[in-house]
Chain A
Amino acid sequence: MHLFVVITIQSITSYLATCAFGIIFNIPFKPLIHGGLIGMIAWLIYFFLFHYSGNDFVATFAASFVIALMSQIFARLCKNPVILYSVSGIIPLVPGGLTYSVMSRAVDNNYDVAIYFAEKVFVLSGAIAMGLILAEVFYQIFEKMKHHASNKMAAGLFLSKKVKHFSK
């Protein structure tokens, strides 16, 4: 029961937060709704991976990989640019709170803690960027293979027709 409450609260808040950010970025209404869905799924993946493995690098990487894959699919289906979906999706993952912590610790003369946080920000944003780029490359390879396969099939059909023709 407790887990169910946690999942409900996390999914509702992440959906709302992602959509609200979409409004600040002026995303049109329909991609806004889809982007909220992407953000929600990614945040749930992040949340559970983080709480069961304790490693935020892996959790961030996995979530941003899923975001990029889903954004590519939505962008292809709705004929919109990918950034519309990926920007609102990565909002819950980006190390915004950490970035603030870096600066507030540094201003507070806590330089060792600040540098520790700064390295974490760098690594986490690297994880997000790697997840995004990797998913993009995978998607391109997949499309190329699909294209290649369909070309081959067309060639095969053409050939078989020719063979039939000759056999007649």
Chain B
Amino acid sequence: MNGFLGSYKRKDSKEGFVHEVAAVCVLTGKILLQNGAETYRVEDTMNRIANSFSVHDAQSFVTPTGIIFSIEDHDVTQLVRIKNRGTNLRKVTQVNTLSRRVAHGEVSLKDLHRDLIQIDRSTVMYSNSLQILAAAIASSCFLLMFLGKWQDLLPAFIAGGAGQAGMIYLHRLAKVKFFSEFMSSIFIGMIALVSVKLGFGVEMNKIIIGAVMPLVPGVPITNAVRDIMAGDLVAGLSKSAEAGLTAFAIGIGVTAAIVLG
């Protein structure tokens, strides 16, 4: 955050303070956007923080790939490029609690900056094995919710866990999201096919639908439509394009596994 560090040189001037506020607001927006908060909430939180440090006339423009934040009367404009996005709602919760305290005037600007950096760097997450287990449980539960057969429970459990494991470990290997989605849906398709051929499973389609549920972009599509309805047209359209590509990767992956297998 250049504005924040650079502003120590011009500590006495009023402009320095405004730069610091802008830097903190942009950092807040960056953390929120990288961890899966809604577009309008990112804009709202940034404007609220600026307001609570009595910097008014703040404008923000948020898209999934970048944030532009500007304070009108002071010629301060900051741009942040967002390269990787995930879903870590724990960080969103922490930032929300922090911004609530800021609105009550309990946090100074310097403390806010320090806490935000701490939140940004924290790596507290549920462990990988727990996430894989969760995906496996979710897949088998979805099988039962869509009125599948009891015999298909075990194949769906294994396929769902394998899909999530593929997502986690392949994403480390190559930072291309569509590659890991494609490969893990190939795993899912292969496991479903083999289990049906060996006689463990009965309905291959239900097993696959249950197992791909943790991967398919149901929530991104809903968020995209919601963004468009709320007036964030650019954000909504780009999110739906990303969701479409994800669905494409999954569809091709599963079908390739079935056709080739």
Q: Are A99 and B247 in contact (CB under 8 A)?
A: yes
Q: Provide the A62-88 mask, 1 if CB < 8 A to any CB of B, else 0.
A: 000000000000000001110110010
Residues of B within 8 A of A104 (CB): 251, 254-255
Chain A positions 118-156 with a Cβ under 8 Å from a chain B Cβ: 121-122, 125-126, 128-130, 132-133
CA distance A12 to B229 in the complex (A): 33
Give min CB distance, B213 to chain A, whole Å: 5
Instruction: Decide if the interface of chain B is mainly helix, strand, loop or mixed.
Output: helix
CA distance A2 to B230 in the complex (A): 43
Q: Are A79 and B97 in contact (CB under 8 A)?
A: yes
Q: Are A25 and B36 in contact (CB under 8 A)?
A: yes
Q: How many residues of B are in contact with the other chain, CB < 8 A?
A: 52
Residue A159 at the chain B interface, CB threshold 8 Å: no
Q: Provide the B213-244 mask, 1 if CB < 8 A to any CB of A, else 0.
A: 11011110110111001100000000000010
Residues of B within 8 A of A122 (CB): 225
Residue A107 at the chain B interface, CB threshold 8 Å: yes
Residues of A within 8 A of B243 (CB): 99
Q: Are B225 and A129 in contact (CB under 8 A)?
A: yes
Residue B65 at the chain A interface, CB threshold 8 Å: no
Q: Are B229 and A16 in contact (CB under 8 A)?
A: no
Give min CB distance, A152 to chain B, whole Å: 26
Residue B96 at the chain A interface, CB threshold 8 Å: yes
Q: Are B217 and A84 in contact (CB under 8 A)?
A: no
CA distance A24 to B68 in the complex (A): 30
Q: Are A43 and B229 in contact (CB under 8 A)?
A: no
Q: Are A125 and B145 in contact (CB under 8 A)?
A: no
Give min CB distance, A52 to chain B, whole Å: 15
Q: Are B221 and A95 in contact (CB under 8 A)?
A: yes
Among A83, A84, A90, A95, chain B packs the most CB atoms within 10 A around the CB of: A83
Q: Are A90 and B137 in contact (CB under 8 A)?
A: no
Q: Are B137 and A27 in contact (CB under 8 A)?
A: no
CB contact under 8 A between A10 and B145, given known A20-B137, A121-B221: yes
Residue A100 at the chain B interface, CB threshold 8 Å: yes
Residue B180 at the chain A interface, CB threshold 8 Å: no
Closest to B125 in A: A26
Contact of B218 (CB < 8 Å), options: A13, A94, A107: A94
A-B contacts, 7 listed (Cβ < 8 Å): A10-B144, A10-B145, A23-B126, A26-B91, A101-B209, A122-B225, A132-B226
Give the A-binding residues of B (Cβ under 8 A): 36-38, 41, 87-93, 96-97, 100, 125-126, 130-131, 134-135, 137-138, 141-142, 144-146, 164, 208-209, 212-214, 216-219, 221-222, 224-226, 229-230, 243, 247-248, 250-252, 254-255
